[in-house]
Amino acid sequence: MNTPPNRRQNTRHTAVCSVKYTVKEGTFRDLINNIGAGGVFISTRRKIDQGRTINLQFPIFAFKKRLNVMGTVVRSNSNGFAVAFDDPIDENDFR
């Protein structure tokens, strides 16, 4: 059986926390499913188109501050969507 290669450049970490995000269609809140320095997967039933610019706001794991990052939706399916950050975040912030 052939396993597709992992296209991620950074390790993803399981996480469950709230995210507020803004796209052309509006501002919404859903849950982060996993996160890495280069991106995040957001669990939702909402359809967000691939290629859409997105602004994300979520607490870092110390919960002492909220990150505000820009990214692009790189994959979308019935379980949610994946976002690649425009600029990687410091992986030490979510360990």
Q: Who wins on pLDDT, 39 or 95?
A: 39
Confidence (pLDDT) at 1: 44
Q: Model's pTM, two decimal places?
A: 0.77
- Give the C-alpha separation, 34 to 15, whole Å: 5
Is pLDDT of 89 > 90? no
Is residue 81 within 8 Å of 75, Cβ to Cβ? yes
DSSP bridge partners of 19: 30
pLDDT in tens, 9-25: 777 778 888 999 999 99
Q: How many whole angstroms separate alpha carbon 91 and alpha carbon 49? A: 27
> What is the Cα–Cα distance from 63 to 54, expressed in whole angstroms?
22
CB 19 within 8 A of CB 69: no
Instruction: Check residues 92 and 42 and name the one with the higher pLDDT.
Output: 42
**Of 47, 59, 42, whose CA–CA distance to 93 is shortest?**
59
Confidence class for position 3, pLDDT limits 50, 70, 90: very low
Render pLDDT for 41-86 as a digit per residue (tens, 0 to 9): 999 999 999 999 999 998 876 556 678 899 999 999 999 999 999 9
Q: What's the whole-number average pLDDT of the chain?
A: 84
